[in-house]
Amino acid sequence: MSCNLEEKQYLDLIKNIIENGCLEEGRNGNTLSTFGASLRFSLKDGKIPIITTKKTAWKTCLKELLWFISGNTDTKILQEKGVHIWDGNTSREFLDSRNLNDYPEGMIGPSYGYQWRSFGANYNCSTGKPFEKGIDQLQYIIDQLKDCKTRNSRRLVMTAWNPTQLDEMALPPCHILCQFHVHNTNQLSCSMYQRSNDECCGTPFNIASYSFLTHLLAKHCGLEAYEFVYFKGNCHIYEEHIEGAKLQMNREPFPFPILNIKEMRENINDYQIQDFEINNYQYHETIYYKMVA
Catalytic residue annotation: 174
Rounded CA separation 98/116 (Å): 22
In 3D space, the residue among 2, 18, 48 whose CA is nearest the CA of residue 250 turns out to be 18
> Which residues, other chains included, contact 217 with Cβ-Cβ below 8 Å and sequence gap of 6+?
141, 142, 145, 180, 188, 190, 223
Q: For 3, phi and psi rounded to 5 degrees?
A: -80, 125
Q: For 188, phi and psi rounded to 5 degrees?
A: -95, 125
Beta carbons of 285 and 55 less than 8 angstroms apart = yes
Beta carbons of 113 and 70 less than 8 angstroms apart = yes
